[in-house]
Chains A and B, each alone.
Chain A
């Protein structure tokens, strides 16, 4: 069964450093998403991406964040200058066009630890 993959599974970085989290969505999906889950809290929407542009973003997704689909298969989330509060699990998701339930398929997540 097709699945969303994410790399790395765990990223440790120093405060102020740039990180890039990578995702490979399911191949025929056209809608892509990033969510995050701070430890012990709920999963929060960050951004959605369709047709090579951001279609919606939350208040969390400020100028420090950016997304890109550089090569038609990968979907990346970049954090320019990480803060301690960026430590969280980051989930990528994708959705097919015309999905019956608007179902999103989630990757296993990247745990980001900012020291």
Chain B
């Protein structure tokens, strides 16, 4: 079945450091891929998305490229800020059925000044 494997945390970085959170997936179909962010005490917010191979999703300085050959969708940001401290979830949805999302376990990021 479909699944997402996400780099375990927690991750602690200094402000302006480079961020990578690894995400790989297994899918029987051709999935759409997403990164969601959950700030403390809040719900899930869509951060970025990509629907086909080599698509790059980007938002708020974050980027992720849909790599079919490595079944990966790693999240990157060149220079993190304290306000980026949150839990990040990688997720996939089957593009044909779209009937449920499969989430990774989440990676907690803390950025220190």
Contact = CB atoms under 8 A, between A and B. Distances in A.
Interface residues of A, number: 27
Interface string A25-54: 000000101010000011111001000000
A103 B46 contact: yes
B98 interface: yes
B99 A106 contact: no
Contacts of B65: none
Q: Point out which of B36, B43, B51, B105 has the most chain A C-beta atoms below 10 A from its C-beta.
A: B43
Pick the most buried of A43, A45, A58, A95: most chain B CB atoms within 10 A of its CB.
Answer: A43
A56 B99 contact: yes
A106 B34 CA distance: 13
Contacts of A33: 100-101
A42 B100 contact: no
Contacts of B45: 106
Q: Bin chain B's interface residue count.
A: 20 to 34
B101 A45 contact: yes
A66 interface: no
Contacts of A45: 100-102
B77 interface: no
Interface of B: 32, 34, 36, 42-46, 49, 51, 89, 91, 93-95, 97-106
Given A102-B93, A104-B93, 17 more contacts: A33-B101, A35-B101, A35-B103, A41-B105, A42-B89, A43-B106, A91-B43, A91-B44, A93-B101, A99-B98, A101-B34, A102-B94, A106-B36, A106-B46, A107-B43, A108-B42, A108-B43
